[in-house]
Amino acid sequence: MKVGLYDDPVFREHDSGSGHPERPERVDAVRRGLLEAGLQERLIFLPTRPATDEELLRVHSPVHVRAVAATRGRVVAFDPDTQAGPGTHEAALHAAGCVVDATVRVLEGELDRAFCLSRPPGHHAERDRVMGFCYFNNVAVAAAEALARGAERVLVVDFDVHHGNGTQDIFQDDPRVLYVSSHAYPYYPGTGALEETGVAKGRGFTVNLPMPYASGDAEYLRVYREIVAPIARAYDPQLVLVSAGFDAYDGDPLAGMRVSAAGYGALAGVCVDAAAGAASGRVVAALEGGYHLDGLATSAAAVTRVLLGEAPPVIPAEAHPVVDRLIAAFRETLAPAWPVLS
């Protein structure tokens, strides 16, 4: 299994401000986790590159691209949570560019899978708005690249604890991209209700799975096995992109979920299984959130093991009874678009 790993010193040059949870040590924690798990020597280290204007403009407006570029060498606060520093623009270009590069290499068969330690993260960045620590929507830029190369069905699975409003915003009317997000709700950024299923030709191709507070491994895995897996099989994507946020980890300072490192490995197993058909196993994961450094280290290692072809961890099936009602609600809302859930 040829699995690429993208990292670059430029990712440490993005400064979100003193005391900010989205800090350079996050990437170092992932690298530490891979090293301690003995996985680094099994990965192919690849250089990053900046995204081009052509790539960015497929999903972002020219005004947005210029606004991020205008931060070069400066400190600019876009909102109370999202501050650019002098090195942010270059880091953001490389964060988007490396996910695009990974996607191209996977589509062309040079790699089987890839894990991008992209920082800053991207899934909150909308077509024309910086927000939620995100400047360019890295996964969306990569999905658009796949579409430009002829892909007709791209699955984006987002297991960050926050809803990826930016990815939804960009593809909500496009049936060529199926966006599936599991997230705490109601929670930042306030989007991602079950009833948000896409618009126009994209109706049904946005699948939001709002999870209750304190959901853990068993709750997440039941939802992924009983909702995500059958929808993915029915869609039969040609490529699977994963917005790999690790802030649903038990103890993460920005959330209240209880997912373990093993739980993340199990979720990765569902994502890999989703690529078993037309995708021929092609999966690209990109780092999103995750602010408990030890949890980030062990969880990213667990996901990487699965990307490398190891069997996902076995998770006990005893979920909280609330999940029965949750799954029933998911089926009722989503079955009109996905009869496989009926």
Query: How many CA within 13 A on the CB side of residue 95?
Result: 31
pLDDT digits (tens, 9 = 90+) for 76-100: 999 999 999 999 999 999 999 999 9
Helix axes 293-307, 25-36, angle to 10 degrees: 50
CA nearest neighbour of 197 among 208, 182, 189: 208
**What local confidence, expressed as pLDDT, does residue 316 receive?**
79
Residue 297 banded pLDDT, cuts 50, 70, 90:
very high
Catalytic residues: 124
Residue 173 is predicted with a pLDDT of 98
Question: What pLDDT score was predicted for residue 310?
Answer: 98
Give the domain extent around 229: 3-341
Which two tokens mark 227?
Answer: 């909702």
Residue 318 has pLDDT above 90, yes or no: no
pLDDT computed for residue 319 by the predictor: 85
For the segment 10-24, the average pLDDT, to the nearest whole number, is: 97
Say if residues 168 and 193 touch (Cβ distance below 8 Å). no
Backbone dihedral angles phi then psi of residue 274, each to the nearest 5 degrees:
-65, -20
Domain with residue 329: its CATH number is 3.40.800.20
Report whether pLDDT(317) > 80.
Answer: no
198 pLDDT higher than 90: yes
Longest dimension (CA), the chain: 54
Q: pTM of this prediction?
A: 0.98
- Report how many domains make up the chain: 1
Q: Which pLDDT tens digit goes with each residue over 233-276?
A: 999 999 999 999 999 999 999 999 999 999 999 999 999 999 99
User: What pLDDT is attached to residue 219?
Assistant: 96
pLDDT over 90 percentage in the chain? 98
Q: How many CB atoms lie within 10 A of CB 303?
A: 28
SS3 content of the chain, % helix, strand, coil (to 5): 40, 15, 45
At 33, is the pLDDT very low, low, confident or very high (cuts 50, 70, 90)? Answer: very high
